[in-house]
Amino acid sequence: MLLTSPFVFSQQIRLKGSVTVHNSKYETGKIQYVKDAFVTAPFSKPSGTDDKGTFALEFVGIKPGTA
């Protein structure tokens, strides 16, 4: 007996990161985080940064093995 599924499996990936001012630590001695930045990427919902510049993107619908 052979069972098949009509569903195509896809990956869901969560990417976390932070947005900072380039060379801020070198120039000021402190890392400067970017608040309220808009972060986007293909196959993900847009995200905004918080007070510490952190964000999270959820990638959905990506074929297995492509990420």
Is position 2 within any domain? Answer: no
Indicate the number of domains in the chain.
Answer: 1
Is position 39 within any domain? Answer: yes
Taking CA atoms, 41 is separated from 4, 6, 25, in Å, by: 33, 29, 27
Dump pLDDT digits (tens) for 9-21: 567 889 999 999 9
Dump pLDDT digits (tens) for 3-62: 454 555 567 889 999 999 999 999 999 999 999 999 999 989 999 999 999 999 999 887
Using only C-alpha atoms, what is the Rg of the chain?
18
Domain with 36 in it: 12-61
Is position 67 within any domain? Answer: no
Q: What type of residue is 44?
A: S
